[in-house]
Amino acid sequence: MNNQGGIQVKNLTKHFPITSGVIFSRTIGVVKAVERLSFSIERGKTFGLVGESGCGKSTTVNMILGLEKPTSGDIYIDGENIIGLKRKKIFDLRRKIQAVFQDPFRSLNPRKKVKQIISEPLLVHKIGTKKQRHERVLELMDLVGLKPDAADHYPHEFSGGQRQRIAIARALSLNPEMIILDEPVSALDVSIQAQIINLLVDIQQKLKVTYIVISHDLAVVEHISDKIGVMYLGQLVELASVKDLYNNPLHPYTQALLASVPIADPENIRESVLEGEIPSPLNPPSGCYFHPRCNKMQPECKKGKKVLHESSPGHFTSCPLFA
Amino acid sequence: MTENINKDLLLKIQGLKTHFFTKRGVVKAVDGIDFSIRKGEIVGLVGESGSGKSITSLSIMRLVPKPAGEIVEGKILLDNENLLEKSAEEMRQIRGNRISMILQDPMVSLNQILRVEYQIGEVFRFHKKTNGSLREKCINVLKNVKVPSPELRIRDYPFQFSGGMCQRVVIGMGIANSPELLIADEPTTALDVTIQSQILQLMKRVQQETGAAILMITHDLATVAQICSRVMVMYAGRIVEKAPVHTFYKTPAHPYSTGLIKSVPVLGKKIGRLFSIEGQPPSLLNPPAGCCFASRCNMAKEICHSEYPPEITLDENANHRVSCWLHA
Amino acid sequence: MLFKKNNKKQRKVNNRIPFVGISFVGGFLFLVVFGNWIAPYDYEYWDMASMMLPPAWLDGGSMAHVLGTDALGRDVFSRLIHGSRFSLLIAVACIACYGTIGVIMGLLSGFMGGITDMVIMRLCDLWMSMPAIILAIILVSLMGPSALTVIIVVGIAGWPGYARIVRGECLSIKQNDFIRLARVAGCSNFRIMFSHVFPNIANTLIVLVTLNIGQMIILTATLSFLGLGTQPPSPDWGLMMNEGRQYINSAWWLVVFPGVAILMAVLGFNIVGDWLREILDPKQKLR
């Protein structure tokens, strides 16, 4: 891994203790929300993270955003480890990573005007004079395709797509190096989704910003990502370039995921390959976590810890069949 | 229409208008729609949020939120009986019995603090079909929708079920009284992709086994393609296109349908840039004159802005119809 | 259609401005501001020559004292008017006092969570389990009865209620993504609490305060009635009722008119509070 720009995540782990009792609480178990997650992405590229709900995507996002402290592991941004830094340093680093969340109706403060929403990060970081900030707001609004007269309105006067544009403008206000897109279009209407996806792609080309996209919509992730990681029960089971992953998925879970996505084509009726549901992360299966649902299960799948290994150049999987 | 078609006609909606009277004016949520559903078919009603698709389903159930909302015009004929002329009591007998409904979020559809058994039993209790043991019937409901070990799960509370299992329970309750029409409002939107296809398969099986017609309301073109036999596209309170599903995806006629299909990224076909329909859907408070889509349409003619297009038949069976001046 | 007509009627009722409530509250506030010019007499003015006069429309009443006079010959009408200012001032002072404590405690509790939350909430429980009246009696015996005592007693007795409501609101607002995004932008806890959470609970607070003014008027009146609050010759409504109590058989107007005044003011504030809750609800606004 080179340390030039972008982000490197190494062995990121988050365990949530399960406690019992109120005053004299003791730990009775542990949920391994994220386990030894490692990936890297270069500056200006997009990393996609896919998986079903409860697979640890959100916890990963929270850790990268600094909202949650990892149990162990490191996150390097521009070669600098952001884990375990002092408060002041973290405050400065926050400028580099911003986020856009799924629901544009809940990610904007309904009591603030659009210009206040977009300029707040600048205000908090004490950047520029009032006038300069106002100019920056107008510049950003132009960038995301909002009319300047929108600045004095409140969020509830806008549709979902427009609100998501406001959220993107805010995320861009500090000139971040990386933006985390957590389900950026899944709450939007079909005809608006394409607008926002195109906008995100344009912005990346213009500003060379790195994206991490979290989504359950595999088609959207495929469309905007360069590299994709597939998560299952807190672990990465496959990591590959977008081309390799979609053309030649190795892990049976990835294969099942790709095969069961409903497709907008009546000639191509999907059969659900995946039976059953995700096991509880409190008590995961032994060996490969996926083995109880896997249709290619071998005896060795039930034993030992399965870690990512490179099966072909740049294509990693944790499936023991490709060891 | 010939006698033959009339015989297997289940639901016929004529000129339905549902309006909302708000402080700021009249919102024409559903503004004159006609369609029909035959017995045992799965029809998709596709549209964006605010296009009026959910209000259409609520209108059929006569559950339009009062006092703001109101059905101002039209007929809803179920087996040639107009539902709009039924009394509240008669309507209660029809709901959950002849027509039932599945909602988007299974976690909200079920009461979290009552046992599943009790909630399923409610369906039978109200409609006074209590011959045979109630518990057995409830277990059967879960069996029908393939919930594993139903004898044990029936004593559980909804929060002990996963989202997919909850939706199965809701579907089970929906079909418990073998309704003639099942309205499914975004039944898979809140679920994970892998669970989505399981639920779609389940619904297809349910339709084949019970012979119920399903009106599938969704914004997701993939859902429609996977299980529906006919598609209706709704935009700004009106149905702009009706077509058999294969025709629709191959040769969509309305510019809005074309745009929708082109703007969805397709798995395995990575293209440079997505096609996008620019602009926003119009406000239903003051809808523009003429075709509502005209302002976003890149093929709009002069007449599109002044007059609403008539419904035009595109094939000899009158299955593919579109409301667009381009085909006039 | 059959159900058409009924619907329209219902719609109108729902959106109607509550004229009764507003006129009660408006009248009350009018008296508070312009009472000095309206009241025919000063509230301390007494005239032994015309004591215990009945209201003007009864035998023996005179237009000089529209609502009659009390045992000292003071004009009931004038005292009621002056009393409005007393009641409102005390109510507002009480609410300002415990509202501030309650909001700060509630925000801290709801927003910080963990140990802070637990300590504040247990403190609330402790406070709420102490009966306000007994607290009042203790404090009065320590400080002597006065308007200030009332404010302090009611003020410190009431904050847990506010704290609990603010905490609940705060917890639900905390779920919103804009709070997460504010953290991502680097906002301090202080900024998030007062710039993001507080404006979103302001509506609730306005409604709460309006509804509470009514309660406060009753509570202060109760304390005065028990002789624990304001002292004579203050024209407090509760005090007036207390003074009139002994003459209830011969001079009912001494008790009834202050009672009606309290009733109208409290009812007015409650109706207006309910109405505000409806129109300030953002969901209502979207309709």
Please check the confidence at residue B200 and state whether its pLDDT lies above 60.
yes
Query: What whole-number distance in Å separates Cα of residue B109 and Cα of residue C157?
Result: 42
Task: Evaluate whether residue C176 is within a structural domain.
Answer: yes
Identify whether A31 is part of a domain: yes
pLDDT (0 to 100) of residue A86: 78
CA distance A18 to chain B (A): 18
- Name the percent of chain A lying above pLDDT 90: 39
Count of domains observed in chain C:
1
Give B90's contacts in chain C (Cβ within 8 Å).
none
pLDDT in tens, B318-328: 889 999 998 87
| Shortest distance, CA B20 to any CA of chain C (angstroms) | 9
pTM of the model: 0.84
Q: In this complex, do B66 and C7 lie within 8 Å of one another by their Cβ atoms?
A: yes
Fill in the amino acid letter for C272: V
Assigned domain for A220 exists: yes
For chain B, percent of residues with pLDDT exceeding 70: 96
- Each residue of B235-279: pLDDT tens digit? 999 999 999 999 999 999 999 999 999 888 888 777 778 888 888
Q: Is B66–C4 a contact, with Cβ atoms under 8 angstroms apart?
A: no
Cα(A36)–Cα(A9) distance, rounded to whole angstroms?
9
Assigned domain for C166 exists: yes
Write out pLDDT tens, residues C35-74: 778 777 777 777 777 777 777 777 777 777 778 787 777 8
pLDDT at A129 over 70: yes
- Residue closest to C222 by CA, chosen among C280, C278, C153, C276: C153
Residue A258 amino acid letter: L
Q: Are the beta carbons of C186 and A102 separated by less than 8 Å?
A: no
Task: Please report, for residues A19, A310, C106, C194, C281, the alpha-carbon distance to residue C202 in angstroms, rounded to integers and kept in the order given.
Answer: 36, 56, 13, 11, 11
* Inter-chain CB proximity A222 and B270 less than 8 Å: yes
Q: Does A318 lie at the interface with C, CB-CB under 8 angstroms? A: no
- CATH code (residue C217): 1.10.3720.10
Q: Do C287 and B21 touch (CB under 8 A)?
A: no
Within 228-257 of C, beta carbons closer than 8 Å to A belong to: none
Chain B touched by A147 (CB under 8 Å) = no
Confidence at residue A306, expressed as pLDDT on a 0 to 100 scale: 78
The Cα A52–Cα C70 span in angstroms is 78
Residues in chain A: 323
How much is the average pLDDT of A304-318? 86
Confidence label for B45 from pLDDT (cuts 50, 70 and 90): very high
Chains that touch B (3 or more CB pairs under 8 A): A, C
Does C164 fall in a domain? Answer: yes
Do the chains contact at B162 and A277, CB–CB below 8 Å?
yes
Q: What is the pLDDT of residue B131?
A: 63
Task: Tokens for A120, please give them.
Answer: 């707040």
Chains with 3 or more CB pairs under 8 A to chain A: B, C
Contact assignment for A264 to B197 by CB distance below 8 Å: no
> Considering only CB atoms, which chain C residues are within 8 Å of B84?
1
Cross-strand bridge partners of residue B147: none
Read off the pLDDT of each residue in B167-189 and give the average, rounded to a whole number: 89
Neighbours of B11 (CB within 10 A): 22
Q: Is A272 on the interface with B (CB under 8 A)?
A: yes
Whole-number average pLDDT of chain A:
87
Question: Residue A260: its chain B contacts at CB < 8 A?
Answer: 193-194, 196-198
A94 has pLDDT over 80:
no
Chain B neighbors of C287, CB-CB under 8 A: 22-23, 68
d(CA A90, CA A48) in angstroms, rounded, equals 25
Residue C26 lies in a domain: no
- Identify the CATH class of B3-90+220-327: alpha beta
- Report the alpha-carbon angle B279-B284-B285, nearest 5: 120
What is the CB neighbour count within 10 angstroms for residue A130? 9
Are the beta carbons of C182 and A120 separated by less than 8 Å? yes
* Residue B47: both structure tokens together: 């549209």
Q: Is residue C71 part of a domain?
A: no
Q: What does the alpha-carbon distance between residue C236 and residue C80 come to, in Å, rounded to a whole number?
A: 8
- In this complex, is the C-beta atom of C36 within 8 Å of any C-beta atom belonging to chain A? no
Q: Do C7 and B84 touch (CB under 8 A)?
A: no
With contacts defined as CB-CB under 8 Å, which chain B residues touch A53?
Answer: 163, 192
Residues of chain C with Cβ-Cβ distance to A99 below 8 Å are 180-181, 184
Task: Tell me which chain B residues have a C-beta less than 8 angstroms from the C-beta of C7.
Answer: 66-67, 70
* Interface contacts (B, C; CB < 8 Å): 19
Classify each residue of A52-61 as buried b or exposed e, where b means 16 or more C-beta atoms within 10 Å of its C-beta: bebbbbbbbb
Q: Which residue of A has its CA nearest to B193?
A: A261
> Do A67 and C182 count as a contact with CB atoms less than 8 A apart?
no
Asked if residue C143 belongs to a domain, the reply is: yes
Confidence of residue C15 (pLDDT cuts 50, 70, 90): low
ipTM: 0.83
**Percentage of chain C exceeding pLDDT 90:** 7
Give the minimum alpha-carbon distance from A166 to chain C in angstroms, rounded to a whole number: 12
Q: C60: burial class by Cβ within 10 Å (0-12, 13-18, 19+)?
A: exposed
Query: Which has the closest alpha carbon to A213: A205, A225, A202, A197?
Result: A225
Q: Which residues 31-60 of chain A have a CB within 8 Å of chain B?
A: 52-53
pLDDT tens, residue by residue, C66-96: 787 877 778 888 888 888 887 778 888 888 8
pLDDT (0 to 100) of residue B2: 41
Q: Check pLDDT > 80 for residue B23.
A: no
Q: In terms of Cα–Cα distance, which of A48, A36, A45 is closest to A217?
A: A48
Domain containing A233 — which CATH number? 3.40.50.300
pLDDT of residue B6: 63
C64 vs A76, which has greater pLDDT?
Answer: A76
Does the distance separating the beta carbons of B196 and A219 come in below 8 Å? no
Burial class (CB in 10 A: 0-12, 13-18, 19+), C134: exposed
Q: Which residue of A has its CA nearest to B263?
A: A194
Please tell me the distance in Å from A89's CA to the nearest CA on chain B. Answer: 38
Number of structural domains found in chain A: 1
Residues contacting residue A40 through CB under 8 Å, at least 6 positions apart: A1, A6, A7, A8, A9
B119-152 pLDDT, tens digit per residue, is 888 888 776 665 668 888 888 888 888 888 888 8
End-to-end alpha-carbon separation of chain B, Å? 22
> Residues of B with CB below 8 A from C1's CB?
71, 84
Domain encompassing residue C208? 85-286
Query: Which domain, by its residues, includes A59?
Result: 9-86+209-322
Give one DSSP letter per residue of B133-202, joined into a string.
Answer: -HHHHHHHHHHHTT-SSHHHHTTS-GGGS-HHHHHHHHHHHHHTT--SEEEEESTTTTS-HHHHHHHHHH
CA distance B201 to chain A (A): 8
Q: What is the mean pLDDT of chain B?
A: 87
Q: Is the pLDDT of residue C1 over 70?
A: no
- How many Cβ pairs closer than 8 A exist between chain A and B? 137
**pLDDT at A174 (0 to 100):** 92
Tell me the chain C residues in contact with residue B76 when contact means C-beta distances shorter than 8 Å: none
Residue C286 clears pLDDT 60, i.e. is over it: no
